[in-house]
A and B are shown apart, each in its own frame.
Chain A
Amino acid sequence: MSLVAASLFFYGWWNPSYVLLILASAFGNYCFGLVLSQRRTTETRRFFFIAGIACNLLLLGYFKYVNFFLNNVNALAGTSFHPQAILLPLGVSFFTFQQLAYIVDVYRGESGERNFLRYCLFVTFFPKLIAGPIVYQREFLPQFSMPAIYRFNSDNLAEGLTIFLLGLFKKVVIADMLAQFADPVFTAVNSGVMPSPSFFVAWQGALAFTLQIYFDFSAYSDMAIGVSRMFGITLPVNFNSPYKAANIREFWSRWHITLSRFLRDYIYIPLGGNRKGTIRQYMNLMITMLICGLWHGAGWTFVAWGALHAVYLVVNHGWKKIRVAFNLRPQGVSRPGLWGGRLLTFSAVITGWVLFRAESFPSAVALLKGMTGLNGAVLPSQILNLIPPLKVLVKPAGTVPFLAGGTVMGVIQFLLITLTCLIIVFFSKNLYELNLRQRIYLLVPSFAFVFQAILFGRMPSDFIYFKF
């Protein structure tokens, strides 16, 4: 009861009126679950199943996609429907998907939750409410049947606290710092202040955002897991060093793991998965990833991002088939092969993030053009004086706007920060590969920066995934 109250208070802190919305959503799905659990005719169950799914999709559709829909209708049909003034409820995509999974599971035969309070906790449990992980009832609700979680356990507190504090470090210290290199570039391109970003500026924006979203989402996942652990609740791991992936399929098995498995279990496999031939499999991949893109945001750039990843996945599956057909499969992967795969995957992911972060296609194209060098390359003349051969390809300038604060020192600092982050991303173990003692050691170099950032630093920015 107290956890439900705390979770609703936490949610209501942002916008009290949406507490009713989440409660109504929870209550509705709880009722659908009860009805579906009871023995009824197949037709009745089917009716309530479809009604349950439709209600959830309508809720999500209204709050998240109605303006996107109206804008597109206006653009296509020349109509003039006015966009609605809708404030997107925090975490609406997360709690709706979670409940969609619940309805499907109960329809498939899993038992529905009879205790509304427990069901409410499943939906509103505050550490995972806003940005996941997306949990299934079968892995979450049974934990509340264990008497041990209702007793204070300092072991859990210590485990959870270290994971939470190190997650906080990733957010307020690393991700927010990287945002200062990414945001000005994307803002300048989106607003038209910098219509043609040059090579190094475009790469700064793309790389900084690639690392920012990594640390930001990793941080949220850690903090959610850490806080839950303090209460004795175990949440599934949602983030597993995704940039270490040697191919795009592996990337999606490491990035936002609980969303990937939702899409696999409730969209890709029901569509037929790989069971109905190659062409159909590729179609299923495309549909699944388009939904994934649309889930992240109501905009065509998100859809394009999903489509791009679908293409990556199709290419990956196709390549796998070619290797098998021509017996090209080596016994194990060589180290150069592994690193080649990692770098190729990383490059593909960076390209995708540009689409994801840019607010329009022209902005994304401008940045991608910049990254390929089509807009030329400019560096501060002081750097070119230090490395004269670069002068052949790079134009000198006294100050390069948006390039790491426009100063030489800023450029060197950005390189140092990026290099350090890349070393962490590619070479270090993640928090779940470390034991408690090792995590405590990590607090020594990190805690003071967290303390500084929270109490004396600039205002921390929102988590990127809060928008979804």
Chain B
Amino acid sequence: MASLEFHDPSGAIEVKQSHAPRVDALAGKRIGFVSNEQWQAYRMLPLLKTLLETDFPGVEVLPIDAFPQGNAVIGSEETAALVKASGVDAVIIGNAA
């Protein structure tokens, strides 16, 4: 019998920033989209807007161009500030591929 003991090479993961709290329900809430304008986002996100508005009474879903669009700007602090200032309860981000 022989044995080997060696390091797990996958190390550790650090979580530096927790996720935003979820909303308790969608009815009556204000939802925004942050779109990179790629990968058919211009079709999928409006469909999602329609679905939300159909399924949840009183929900307000902002149009997909309510915030700056495109990979170049959606990760910026300026966009984040605009989203925060808009008073939305939740945001859907798309599309990655």
Check if A and B associate: no
A residues with CB within 8 A of B: none
